[in-house]
Each structure stands twice: as C-alpha cells, then as structure tokens.
Amino acid sequence: MFRLFYAVILLLGTIIITFFMTRLLPGDPIRAAMQQGFDINDEAIIQEVRAQFGLDRPVHIQFAMWTKDFFTGNWGKSLGSGQKVTDMFMQRVSVTLELFFLSLCLSWFFGVIFGVVSALKRNSMLDFTITGVSVAGLSIPVFWEAIIFIYVFAVWWQILPPSGYVPFFEDPIMNLKMVAMPTVVMATHGMAAVARYVRASLLEVVNQDYIRTARAKGLRERAVIISHAFKPAAIPVLTIFGGTFGGILGGSFIIELMFAIPGLGRMGLDAIFARDFPIIQAMAVLGSSCVLIANLITDIAYGWLDPRVRVYK
C-alpha cells in the first residue's frame, strides 16, 4: 500500500510540474500554431483563439480544468490542428507500442543470455567480447548509432529501408523490414545494461556456499545455474527494469524522428517544437504513468523472488 501511495504522489507531482513547466516554454503557443494560414499580427483573432482553448483564464483555473478533464478522458485539442488529443493518440499508439515491446523483449531476452554466457565463461575471449560490446552499447549515443545503421544497412548494403512505416497487417514483410533498425537501436542500451548486471549478479551468486554445496552433491551445472543461482541473481537485475523501460520509452522520441516513424514519440517531439500544450501535457503524464507502473511491477516481482523483501503494512 505504501508503494502505491508513493506512486500516486509522484504522479500528482508529475502532473503539477508538467503543467506549469509547459507554461514556461518561450514564445506564444497560439502564435506558433497560427503561423500557417492566418495573420498572426491580428490580435482580435489571437485573443479569440486563446479564449477558445481557455488560455485567457488564470493559470490555477486552467490547471484545475485540465486535471479534471484529463482524468475524465478529455485530453483537450491540439493547438495546431484542432484535433482531439485522444484521437491523435489512438492513431499513433499502435506504432509506438510495436516498437516499444519489440525493443523491450529484445533487450531483455538477449541481455539475459549474453550476461549468463559471459558469467559462465568468465575471463574467456567470449566474456571479453561480450563485455566490450556491452560497454560500447552503453557509450554510443542513440542518434549516432541510428546514423551508422542507416548508412550500413540502407545505403551501403541496401537490404533495409532507411525510414518510413507500414502497418503489420497491411504488409507484414515490409513492416518487419522497416521496424528492424529502429527496434535494434532502441534495444541496444537496455541490452547492454541488462547483460552487465546479469553478469555481475550471477558471478556474485555462483561464489556462495550453497552453490558449492549443490555442485558437491553432483548436480549438473545447468541444474545448479537454473534451479539455485538464477533466481537469486535476478533480484538485483530487476532494479534496472524501470530504467530500461523508461529509457526505451524516452528513446522513441529520437528514433521515431530519425526513422520518420509516425508514432507517439514523433508526435510529442513535434508538439514540443510547436509549443502544443495539450499534447505535451498528455504525453508527459502518460509516459510518467508507464514508468511508475513498471516500478510497481518491479516491487511486486521482488516479493515473488525473495520473500525477505516483502513488506506487510
């Protein structure tokens, strides 16, 4: 219950900070939205549009109205297009979810495998290779990695399209080709972090006395690792689940821009440049909610893996 209460407090804090921080962005959002097709020097039109979106009211009134509307499913309208934010979200959410879940599964699946192999083959050439690749994966900037992938696979070898998106049910083969590069780029940092954490945690566990006892009983190495070592080693690794979750979610902004993918990240980035308050606020609250939920899942998993960390209040 304490964790849930703490998450609610963080969410409320995020809502408050997001709302008031958007008001500190430089420039007039109405003028930015009316740059095309209107005379932005016509104050009468500007004031009329500002009143239409409720931006002429005191800030605390705007905050109260927006909070009430947001939790009742009314996320407002885009200042630029006038389209409902909920409609824009539903049009793009499937694109981002595909990239997100593919990247998350890829990062954890291969991260765990590489970490286990590296720990079991400690100080071997394979261990040094995996460790070196993990360090490189954590160090290279996402945008630079995306440029390298585009040059190698789209320009040099010409085996993958450089950008764009096609829905899976419209053309499955082309869809997989188009999401291949952005998925790998988004998963690289998480995969490297998971591999390093799994390696360090597993090496610490396999040196414990009960592991040596299990080996002395004649158990096969595979049974020792899976039945006795892996579960305790997974507890410290769970600490980075929320981090990889949030990292992939945040990385979608840059990745969707560089690969011209029409997802939520691209929509949020365009909204920041256009100072489109309703979209920015909705994206920030939804992203924060997802990270908080991921951390709650992590806390629940702690109790399942190790009953000693369970808290009954």
CATH superfamily of 92-274: MetI-like (1.10.3720.10)
- Percent with pLDDT over 90 in the chain: 29
* 126-182 per-position pLDDT tens digit: 999 999 999 998 888 888 999 999 999 999 999 999 999 999 999 999 999 999 999
Instruction: Please report the pLDDT score of residue 148 as a whole number.
Output: 93
Q: Report the candidate in 175, 161, 172, 137 with the shortest Cα–Cα distance to residue 259.
A: 161
Provide CB contacts within 8 A for 236, sequence distance 6+: 197, 200, 201
For the chain, first and last CA: distance in Å?
7
What is the spatial distance between Cα 148 and Cα 183, in angstroms, rounded to a whole number?
14
Work out the average pLDDT over 104-110. 92
> Bigger pLDDT: 49 or 167?
167
The yes-or-no verdict on residue 1 having pLDDT over 70 is no
Instruction: Please report the pLDDT score of residue 34 as a whole number.
Output: 63
Instruction: Please report the pLDDT score of residue 180 as a whole number.
Output: 94
**H-type alpha helices, the chain:** 2-22, 29-33, 43-52, 59-71, 85-120, 125-139, 142-149, 172-206, 209-216, 221-223, 230-237, 241-258, 264-274, 277-305
CB atoms within 10 A of CB 193: 21
Instruction: Please report the pLDDT score of residue 27 as a whole number.
Output: 67
Instruction: Please report the pLDDT score of residue 306 as a whole number.
Output: 65
Q: Reduced to 3 states, what is the DSSP secondary structure of residue 47?
A: helix
User: Domain segments of the chain: what residues?
Assistant: 92-274
| Mean pLDDT over each residue of the chain, to the nearest integer | 84
**DSSP state, 227?**
I
> Bigger pLDDT: 18 or 159?
159
Instruction: Please report the pLDDT score of residue 313 as a whole number.
Output: 44
Among 31-35, 155-159, 199-203, the minimum mean pLDDT is found in 31-35
Grade residue 272 by pLDDT with cuts at 50, 70 and 90.
confident
**Identity of the amino acid at 292:** L
